[in-house]
Amino acid sequence: MPRGLQADTVGPVDVAVIAFEGNRFDGRIVPALRELQLNETVRILDLAFVSKARDSSVAVLELSDPGVAETLRQVTDVQFDLLSDEDLRTVSDSLTQESSALVVAWENTWAARLSAAVRGSEGELVMLERVPREAVLEAISALDDH
């Protein structure tokens, strides 16, 4: 098992797909991901970069690839093969020509203690929903109007 991961204490895991039109990934989000990991907000478990060329050919870089860009390795020291070939194929199928995506699987380490407490109290998470950004902005705007 990767360093620091324990089955009974692992927090919830999310997968995010961050798309870049025109293959304009420049790495500027990497420091933000690194900071989240250093602050123990998340632990990056797996990471891949998928790009689709004008001719629809697809290239995939994964942490496990010997020639992977140093930029991606800066984000994590854990190699936990969570993203499957099928997952990455699904991402590549959704990309338009000349676009790319960073696919990141992270453990929400900030929630691990709460998750353990829920399990320890024999509770069960029955619903979790992310509120869309636009809905939050509308609510903020409504508050500002009063």
Residues facing 15 on adjacent strands: 105
Question: What are the pLDDT digits (tens) for 93-131?
Answer: 999 999 999 999 999 998 988 888 998 999 998 998 989
Please count the other Cβ atoms lying within 10 Å of the Cβ belonging to residue 29.
14
10 Å CB burial of residue 76 (0-12, 13-18, 19+) is: buried
Q: What is the CATH number of domain 13-114?
A: 3.30.1490
| C-alpha span between 136 and 33 (Å, rounded) | 23
Rounded to two decimals, the pTM is 0.79
What are the backbone angles phi and psi of residue 79, rounded to the nearest 5°? -120, 100
Question: What are the pLDDT digits (tens) for 61-97?
Answer: 887 666 554 555 566 666 677 899 999 999 999 999 9
